[in-house]
Amino acid sequence: MEPAHFEAAMIGDVNKFPFCDTEREDLSEIFNKKNSEGDTALHLSVRAQKLNAVRVLINLSKQNPNTSTDDTLLTMKNEDGNTALHEALFAVHLSKKNVDNILVDIACYLVLNGPNVSCHKNNAGKSPLCVAIESGNKDILEYILNALPEGNELLQRLEGKSPVHVAIEHRKLDMLRVIKEQKEELLLLLDEEGNTPLHIAAYTGYLKGIRYLLEIKSIWSFERNNNGFYPLHLSCENGHVQVTKALFRKWPDPAELLCNKGQSILHVAAKSGKDNVVRFILKEKGTDKLVNKLDKNGNTPFHLAALHGHSMVMTTLLFDKRSKADIVNCQGLTAYGICKSHILTTMQDQQIDVNDKNLRASGNIKNNSAVFDLEEF
């Protein structure tokens, strides 16, 4: 980009070169040239909050015969993959509560002239629609949603992260409500792992989001992601007791909740070391069948807690009268044998003499040791 163009974009004086020089046949110097960070003149004018310059640039771009409908000034991205609309919404986000009206006007003007750009993702996988949600500005979000097409056409155009998932991750219930009212079809979007909005809310422990989503579509409680996890699996795996309680009430028989590895909600809680969730599950009615249930590798929750070295969970399970520590898994190991192997491995790592008489008194060291690939469990 020429220095004169850089300065003009930053100053935003539409009465000076190159804005006033519209008689030239080739205006590509204004529209297509970028600086070292990949910014066009439009990017710079947006960042400088020069609405008049933004308007002129877009109008001139429409008159440029060298610009295709698929590659316009509005769709051009910088090194971060951001369009000018991304930059406008980032500025709104950074302004937080003290949003300058000029920023809102610029964002809305860009949407008006290129509504589909709201669906284009940047290098971080976020569309301007997602950035608008993060900003928390309901007016801009409503403006964008009203400008977008309806139904499947919208779902096909939207790139990157689901805006619904972004609203849940940032715990913005008000933005979630706007999406529900304006473009309910966005609730149907899954992420690359097959997670529904309820999966995301369960994973993040967003209780208000859980309650709202269950009001919209309670059937989400019974949907699995690509790993066969129900939302309840994810809340248990991440230690969210209150969310686990809310979702647990939706299931008549928790023993039916199994992922692709045949693991129950108690398995995943024990495996991830979430003792608070383990204690909750053990106290609930109808969970007797979970205590010693075997997954596809023959592991009980006790086995998994031992395999992953979660001593608190192991203690909780050990003191539960229903728990059986002598069950053998598919590798021929009891939970006790696994614990013993972990202890010996730790001692060896710390260069402790494994021939110590106290260890030898506990049994045959060689026969009670094993090597584990935890990814299998």
**Model pLDDT for residues 135-160, shown as the tens digit of each residue:** 999 999 999 999 999 888 999 999 99
**Model pLDDT for residues 107-131, shown as the tens digit of each residue:** 999 999 999 999 999 999 999 999 9
User: 337 and 304: one domain?
Assistant: yes
User: 336 and 358: one domain?
Assistant: yes
Q: Name the domain boundary from 223, 251, 279.
A: 251
**Model pLDDT for residues 282-314, shown as the tens digit of each residue:** 999 889 999 999 999 999 999 999 999 898 999
User: 293 and 339: one domain?
Assistant: yes
Let me know if residue 125 belongs to a domain.
no
d(CA 54, CA 236): 50
DSSP tag of 376: G
User: 296 and 368: one domain?
Assistant: yes
**Model pLDDT for residues 230-269, shown as the tens digit of each residue:** 999 999 999 999 999 999 988 878 888 999 999 999 999 9
User: 228 and 329: one domain?
Assistant: no
Residue with tokens 């205590």: 291
User: 371 and 277: one domain?
Assistant: yes
User: 205 and 233: one domain?
Assistant: yes
Q: Could you tell me the residue range of the domain that residue 226 belongs to?
A: 195-251
Let me know if residue 185 belongs to a domain.
no
DSSP tag of 368: G
Task: Provide the CATH number for the domain around residue 286.
Answer: 1.25.40.20
Residue with tokens 């964002």: 107
User: 218 and 270: one domain?
Assistant: no
User: 360 and 275: one domain?
Assistant: yes
d(CA 73, CA 23): 19
Q: Name the domain boundary from 251, 284, 317.
A: 251
Main-chain phi, psi angles of 140, to 5 degrees: -65, -40
For the whole model, what pTM was predicted? 0.81
**Model pLDDT for residues 21-74, shown as the tens digit of each residue:** 545 545 555 666 788 899 988 998 999 898 988 998 888 787 765 555 456 889
CA atoms within 13 A on the CB side of 159: 14
Let me know if residue 317 belongs to a domain.
yes
d(CA 117, CA 131): 12
* Number of independent structural domains in the chain: 2
Q: Name the domain boundary from 251, 286, 317.
A: 251
Q: What is the mean pLDDT of residues 79-95?
A: 93
Let me know if residue 205 belongs to a domain.
yes
CB 130 within 8 A of CB 91: no
Identity of the amino acid at 1? M
User: CA of 219: how far to CAs of 119, 164, 199, 252, 264, in Å?
Assistant: 28, 17, 12, 14, 19
Tokens of 21: 């020089």
Q: Name residues whose C-beta falls within 8 Å of residue 221's C-beta, 6 or more positions apart in sequence.
A: 198, 214, 230, 231, 232, 247, 250, 251
